């Protein structure tokens, strides 16, 4: 558990340094994107504790949307179920 806390603190520290380096560029688009990283800093750091990914959910959503796109031109939905 103590190692996890150290990993999270290290991740936050590295993220803050990365954000600071990006802000020194002075590019408005990058500064705007870095604001999102600042707002989600704790959530980004929590990844190092749980290592959860949403790839499985995204894959299922993609399959559902593909099925919906294929079903747009069906006249009678019940005949294909």
Please write the tens of the pLDDT for every residue from 13-28. 999 999 999 999 999 9
| Nearest residue to 8 via CA among 44, 40, 34, 35 | 44
Q: What's the whole-model pTM score? A: 0.56
Q: What's the count of helices (H) and strands (E) in the chain, helices before strands?
A: 4, 0
Model confidence at 39: pLDDT above 90: yes
Model confidence at 55: pLDDT above 90: no
d(CA 48, CA 11): 7
Q: 71 phi and psi, to 5 degrees?
A: -90, 0
Report the pLDDT value the prediction gives residue 3, as an integer from 0 to 100. 67
Report the pLDDT value the prediction gives residue 46, as an integer from 0 to 100. 78
* Domain residue spans of the chain: 2-80
């Amino acid at each position: 558990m103590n190692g996890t806390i150290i990993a999270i603190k290290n991740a936050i520290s590295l993220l803050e340094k990365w954000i600071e380096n990006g802000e020194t560029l002075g590019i408005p688009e990058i500064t705007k994107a870095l604001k999102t990283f600042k707002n989600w800093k704790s959530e980004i750091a929590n990844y190092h504790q749980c290592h959860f990914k949403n790839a499985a959910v995204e894959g299922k959503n993609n399959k559902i949307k593909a099925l919906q796109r294929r079903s747009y031109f069906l006249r009678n939905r019940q005949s294909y179920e």
